[in-house]
């Protein structure tokens, strides 16, 4: 998760916000960026409250992780679809895959621990994967052929939402799972460096 955080920082900086800035200037890109961050934070705060209530009532944390992966995945996959319009995507694709895989594995394991069948778990997570393909298709299909100035809005929005998800979800989870060990910082830096090299290649 720490590696994925660093990789997503590269994607936000060099494949999303930079393009938004070039297409729409600082004000358009900045407003869209803040809008994306704000909407993610509001949605995530609401989800966190529901998760704590569900967990306190004895609900499965696996479903909370499913909801978290889905919420995080919407801005990331929207960014992927928009990035494909701009012929970007290799760095972003790798970063999204690496960031979502650990949460999905843990969520499936928690569901298994509360007695769900393997078939039910696979069905639920397959459904989540199909659902998360929709933002990619929307980001690509709905925006293909639009003007550069109009494209700045979804690029900036996706950049803000992804960066907010990093600060709010992915980085804290990585730090918590590693119990604050210094290697988290190292792997974040390594993720940034390697994804930058892929992006620049």
- What's the pLDDT tens digit per position in 89-110? 566 666 677 667 766 777 787 7
Give mean pLDDT, residues 110-136.
82
pLDDT tens digit sequence for 39-59: 888 887 877 776 666 555 444
Four-point Cα dihedral 181, 47, 151, 77, nearest 10: 60
Side-chain-side CA neighbours of residue 198 (13 Å) = 20
Q: Is the confidence at residue 140, as pLDDT, over 80?
A: no
178-186: long-range contacts (C-beta < 8 A, 24 or more apart)?
A: 178/2, 183/2, 184/2, 185/2
Mean of all residue pLDDT scores within the chain:
77
pLDDT number for residue 33: 93
Helix 61-85 crosses helix 18-56 at what angle (to 10 degrees)?
170
For residue 115 the two structure tokens come to: 């007695």
pLDDT for 75 beyond 50: yes
What is the C-alpha separation between 124 and 144, in angstroms, rounded?
Answer: 31
Q: What 3-state class would DSSP assign to 114?
A: coil
Mean pLDDT score, 80-92 = 64
88, pLDDT greater than 60: no
């Amino acid at each position: 998760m720490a590696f994925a955080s660093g990789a997503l920082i590269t994607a936000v900086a060099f494949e999303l916000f930079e393009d938004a800035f070039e297409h729409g200037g600082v004000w358009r890109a900045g407003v869209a960026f803040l809008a994306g961050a704000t909407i993610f934070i509001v949605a995530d705060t609401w989800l966190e409250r529901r998760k704590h209530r569900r967990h306190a009532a004895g609900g499965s944390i696996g479903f909370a992780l499913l909801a978290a992966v889905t919420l995080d995945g919407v801005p990331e996959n929207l960014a992927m679809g928009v990035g494909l319009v701009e012929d970007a995507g290799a760095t972003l694709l790798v970063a999204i895959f690496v960031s979502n895989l650990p949460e999905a594995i843990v969520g499936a394991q928690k569901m298994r621990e509360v007695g769900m069948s393997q078939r039910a778990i696979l069905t639920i997570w397959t459904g989540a994967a199909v659902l998360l393909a929709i933002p990619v298709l929307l980001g690509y299909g709905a925006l293909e052929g639009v003007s550069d100035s109009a494209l700045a809005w979804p690029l900036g929005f996706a950049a803000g939402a992804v960066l907010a998800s990093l600060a709010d979800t992915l980085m804290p989870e990585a730090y918590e799972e590693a119990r604050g060990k210094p290697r988290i910082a190292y792997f974040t830096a390594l993720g940034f460096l390697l994804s930058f090299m892929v992006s620049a290649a």
